[in-house]
């Protein structure tokens, strides 16, 4: 993977009408909250996404580690093309949904994870159906136990692997990531033939940056994490909102 060694990336140009725009959610559109349920989508963001979707002819998609069910609840009543669970779930441009079933073994792992979480108040076991995310932002001491459980489970579950993020490890099926999801969107309407642009903040977004770079698009890192394949940068969530034309302080 080619990575940028320069922490000062140019700011991306304002969104253009010929873009296929892909946006990560947590750490990009929304600030991180203490727990996954603590993140709230305000009306200004929801309305801005609806406006951009209309302007781009529907070629705007959310690309997130969250499940489609969770994202739909957060952004309701707005429904956009969406890649959930890092591409394991996908709502196409025509709003058709692809979802995979979860193996029974994952329920056993969830029960063990919940018993660990009870020892570390504030930690969260996020049931994503086909995937399981273990969050320790509220208590970093839980990282060792959660990592050990996830590593063992990944060995026992066929075709599962670990996806590490910011204070979280996710146990998920192999074979899909944010890059493959973006590539699939770009092969179908209304995204096909447009200039791809992807903004995200986390390690899980690197696959997406690589796909966009390979197609001569714009890869946009939110924050200062290094190294990264992203070629442009925005400082933080507030800067992303300004880039999308949401005025400072414009909330519910």
**Same-domain pairing of 80 and 193:** yes
- Of the three residues 155, 173, 191, the one that is the final residue of a domain is 173
Q: Is the pLDDT of residue 98 over 80?
A: no
Sorting pLDDT into bands at 50, 70 and 90, what band is 173?
confident
24 is known as an active-site residue: yes
Q: What is the pTM of this model?
A: 0.78
In which domain, by residue range, is 161 found? 105-173
Question: Which one of the listed residues 6, 17, 18, 24 is annotated catalytic?
Answer: 24
pLDDT digits (tens, 9 = 90+) for 9-51: 999 999 999 999 999 999 999 998 877 778 899 999 999 999 9
Query: Is a pLDDT exceeding 70 seen at residue 7?
Result: no
Residue 59 lies in a domain: yes
Would you place residue 3 in the very low, low, confident or very high pLDDT band (cuts 50, 70, 90)?
Answer: very low
pLDDT band per the 50, 70, 90 thresholds, residue 249: low
Q: Say how many domains are in the chain.
A: 2
SS (H, E, C) the chain: CCCECCCCCCCCCCCCCCEEEEECCECCCECCCCCHHHCCCCHHHHHHHHHHHHHCCCCEEEECCCCHHHHHHHHCCCCCCEEEHHHCEEECCCCCEECCCCCCHHHHHHHHHHHHHCCCCCCEEEECCCCEEEECCCCHHHHHHHHHHHHHHHHHCCCEEEEEECCEEEEEECCCCHHHHHHHHHCCCCCCCCEEEEEECCHHHHHHHHHHHHCCCEEEEECCCCCECCCEEECCHHHHHHHCCCCCCCCC
Residue 199 pLDDT > 60, yes or no?
yes
């Amino acid at each position: 993977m080619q990575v940028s060694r320069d922490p000062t990336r140019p700011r991306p140009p304002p969104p253009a009408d010929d873009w296929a725009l892909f946006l990560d959610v947590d750490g990009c559109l929304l600030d991180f909250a203490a727990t996954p349920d603590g993140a709230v989508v305000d009306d200004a963001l929801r309305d801005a996404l609806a406006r951009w979707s209309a302007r781009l002819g529907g070629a705007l998609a959310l690309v997130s580690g969250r499940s489609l069910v969770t994202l739909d609840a957060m952004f309701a009543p707005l429904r956009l093309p969406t890649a959930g669970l890092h591409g394991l779930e996908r709502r196409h441009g025509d709003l058709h949904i692809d979802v995979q079933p979860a193996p029974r073994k994952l329920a056993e792992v969830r029960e063990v994870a919940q018993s660990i979480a009870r020892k570390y108040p504030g930690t969260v076991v996020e049931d994503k159906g086909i995937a399981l995310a273990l969050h320790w932002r509220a208590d970093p001491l839980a990282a060792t136990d959660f990592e050990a459980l996830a590593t063992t489970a990944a060995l026992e579950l066929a075709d599962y692997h670990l996806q590490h993020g910011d204070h979280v490890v996710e146990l998920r099926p192999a074979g899909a990531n944010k890059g493959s999801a973006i590539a699939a969107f770009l092969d179908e309407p209304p995204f096909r033939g447009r200039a791809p642009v992807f903004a995200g903040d986390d390690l899980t977004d690197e696959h997406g940056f690589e796909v966009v770079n390979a197609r001569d698009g714009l890869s946009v890192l939110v924050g200062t994490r290094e190294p990264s394949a992203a070629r442009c940068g925005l400082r933080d969530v507030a800067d992303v909102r300004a880039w999308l034309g949401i005025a400072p302080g414009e909330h519910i």
